[in-house]
Amino acid sequence: MTEQAVQVRPEWRRGTVSGDGVTLATFELGDPGNPTVLLVHGWPDTHHLWTHIAPRLAEKYHVVAYDCRGFGESDRPREVGAYRLAELADDLFAVAEAVSPDAPVHVVGHDWGSVQAWEAVSRPRAHTRIASFVSVSGPNLDHLGQLLRAGLTRPTPHRVRTIATQSLSSAYTGLFQLPVLPNALLTALGNPRAWKQFLHTVEGTPPENVVVAGTLRRDMITGLALYRANIRQKLSRPDPRPTTVPVLQVVNERDIALRPAIYDNTPDYAAKLWRRDTPTGHWLPYTHPAYLTDTVLDFLAAQTGSDAPPTVERLRVFAEPKPLAGKLVVITGAGSGIGRETALLLAERGCELVLADRNLDTAAETEQACKVAGAVAHAYLLDVSDTGAFVSFAATVREQHGVPDVVINNAGIGLAGGALAATDEQVDRLLDVNLRGVITGSREFGRQMVERGVGGHIVNVSSAAAFTPSRSLGLYSASKAGVLLFSESLRAELAEHRIGVSAICPGIVDTNIVSSTPIAGLDSDSERTQRDRLDRFYQRRGFTPDRVATEIVSAVEHNKAVVPVTPEAKVGYRIYRFAPWLSRIGARQKVTG
């Protein structure tokens, strides 16, 4: 999903800043008495890149964009050496000092704008002139060079993969080093209509969102000097330096030019680092301007101390980045068993957790355990069978914590015994919790994810019973088969929105669901006896819920569709697909009831 283009262009106040013999065109919005936000574009953009973002920032801040040297209305030095990062960082400081002489500025950089801002924040005097830095789609080339050097001198499988994938993504930079061919190609691509179509083709950027200057073709060709002046120099002789400037690194997981792994060593050099990973592409200011604006505003609020949103703190990086770190995760049935173990595992990964259960006391126990693990966690009372309450809960999560990145619909109950012996109340309760609850959670949070437009993941806990028919579990199997097929269908529906859906299908797992499972058609004494027998069997089986939690986290990280978990689930899944007659024979065996 993409956001609708902003139809009204900002009415910039134009000016110039001169330094080192180069005159830079500046463009301002907002009250100069407010803190200044300096917007720095990359290749082949100009200040127009910020068309959809600057007006909202200007409601609270003094916003200044400028055309970098070689672009738009600014001067165009002819020498390649004039485009080294040292000169570009000098330009940034010159603009900052001219537009905000008495206070440091907040910098937001994209692409080469981010690259040159990294050079600026790595200078000793940066902490006096730069209050914070939001980096979007642009690495520190010294960090990258150091990472590549480590991959060559101390190779590991991860480092080798990083070098290989990034080399493939960066192949165009080699082309840009050539003297004639790239000029000819960019002459054709420099037509505004062709460039908009190119962006739409490579990452779905809406053409109506792309705002370019009349100097686009010239900017493309002049901007080749950025690659020629810096790539080989920085990657072959990196000089990584630390920074104390607070940095938010926005990492786009679908960036066509930059792979997420190249940012892994940033914590080694940034003392105050936050990181947000999203399944978005390179030109985020065009594809999701509202999302990026909200991200910047939240971070600026945290840095200025004005109503800092709690969403920012979960993005803080204190050591090596972890997969899923900073994600907001909602888990139902989080008070015990699989739900609790999944919460604890995600707490270790650095997620913020919203924990719902029909027993608030057990949810609070999970909340406390997650906090001990260093995570931010919140416990809520929720009966997933109450659709109205679930709808209200989803709205509360959005209002209090934001749109979740991951939702795990785990809450479930059991029902054993024959279908004919079950009461209507038992059937209704089973379907309301196991199926309707999953559907409600998926629909409510799925709508939020679609509206936000930057993807997400939904996990629905089904069961091996979904594909293992049994005369003693027919109703339970029906509820879990509904979850499985609903999840498969929802996955197809949400794929275009970059929202993954996984169905988790455990077999025999030692949780407390057995001890609370009613057995239809039995008196209370017989039910208790058979339930105790099954409970002892599950305990002897010894497959613990933490192993299911590991599979759930893996399903999110790798966007798996259907995950049979236990050995019997994996075997049963294949038997039902390839030899269903064997499943039917096994279904006749009486387990209980």
pLDDT 10s digits, 312-354: 777 777 666 778 888 999 999 999 999 999 999 999 998 999 9
pTM summary value: 0.83
Q: Which residue has the higher pLDDT, 575 or 288?
A: 288
The string of pLDDT tens digits covering residues 31-53 is: 999 999 999 999 999 999 999 99
pLDDT category at 279 given cuts 50, 70, 90 is confident
Would you list the DSSP string of 246-302?
A: -EEEEEETT-SS--GGGGTTGGGTBSSEEEEEES--S-HHHH-HHHHHHHHHHHHHH
CA dist 470 and 583 (Å) reads 9
The two tokens of residue 304 are: 């200025």
Task: Return d(Cα 394, Cα 444) in angstroms, integer.
Answer: 6
Strands 499-505 and 562-564, sheet pairing: parallel
Interacting residues of 486 by C-beta distance below 8 A, sequence separation 6+: 435, 438, 439, 442, 460
Dist. CA 292–CA 301, nearest whole Å: 14
Residues with active-site annotation: 476
Residues in Cβ contact with 124 at an 8 Å cutoff, skipping those fewer than 6 apart = none
**pLDDT value, residue 4:** 47
Pairing mode of beta strands 273-278, 247-252: parallel
13-317 and 328-586, same CATH topology: yes
Which pLDDT tens digit goes with each residue over 377-435? 999 999 999 999 999 999 999 999 999 999 999 999 988 888 898 999 999 999 999 99
The answer to whether residue 101 scores a pLDDT higher than 90 is: yes
Could you tell me which of 121, 26, 110 has the C-alpha nearest to residue 69? 26
Looking at residues 583-591, what average pLDDT do you find? 69
- For the chain, the distance separating the N- and C-terminal CA atoms, rounded to the nearest angstrom, is 49
Average pLDDT in the chain = 90
DSSP per position, 481-543: HHHHHHHHHHHHHHGGGTEEEEEEE--S--STTGGG--BTT--HHHHHHHHHHHHHHHHHH--
Q: Where are the domains of the chain?
A: 13-317, 328-586
Residue 17 zone, left/alpha/beta (φ > 0; ψ -120 to 50; rest): beta
Reported residue count of the chain is 593
Closest to 62 in 3D by CA, of 98, 86, 113, 90: 98
Q: Which fold has domain 328-586?
A: Rossmann fold (3.40.50)
Distance CA 403, CA 248 (A): 19
Contact yes or no for 304/104 (Cβ under 8 A):
no
Residue-level pLDDT at 473: 82
Q: Which range, of 286-300, 390-404, 559-573, averages the lowest pLDDT?
A: 559-573
pLDDT-derived band at 305, boundaries 50, 70, 90: confident
pLDDT above 50 (res 1): no
Specify the pLDDT at position 511: 66
Q: Which CATH superfamily is domain 13-317 in?
A: Alpha/Beta hydrolase fold, catalytic domain (3.40.50.1820)
Res. 530 pLDDT band, cuts 50 70 90: low
pLDDT computed for residue 417 by the predictor: 84
Q: What is the pLDDT of residue 536?
A: 63
The DSSP bridge partners found for residue 380 are: 356
Question: Which of 559, 567, 576, 565 is CA-nearest to residue 461?
Answer: 565
Asked if the model's pLDDT at residue 157 lies above 50, the reply is: yes
Q: What is the pLDDT of residue 517?
A: 73
Examine the pLDDT at 59 and tell me if it is beyond 70. yes
Cis status, amide bond into 309, omega within 30 of 0 = no
CA 572, CA 26: separation in Å to the nearest integer?
A: 66
Q: Which of 68, 170, 66, 49 is nearest to 116 (CA)?
A: 68
Share of the chain above pLDDT 90, in %: 69
Q: Look at residue 2 in the predicted model and tell me its pLDDT.
A: 44
Of the two residues 15 and 175, the one the predictor is more confident about is 15
Q: Which of the two residues, 294 and 318, has the higher pLDDT score?
A: 294
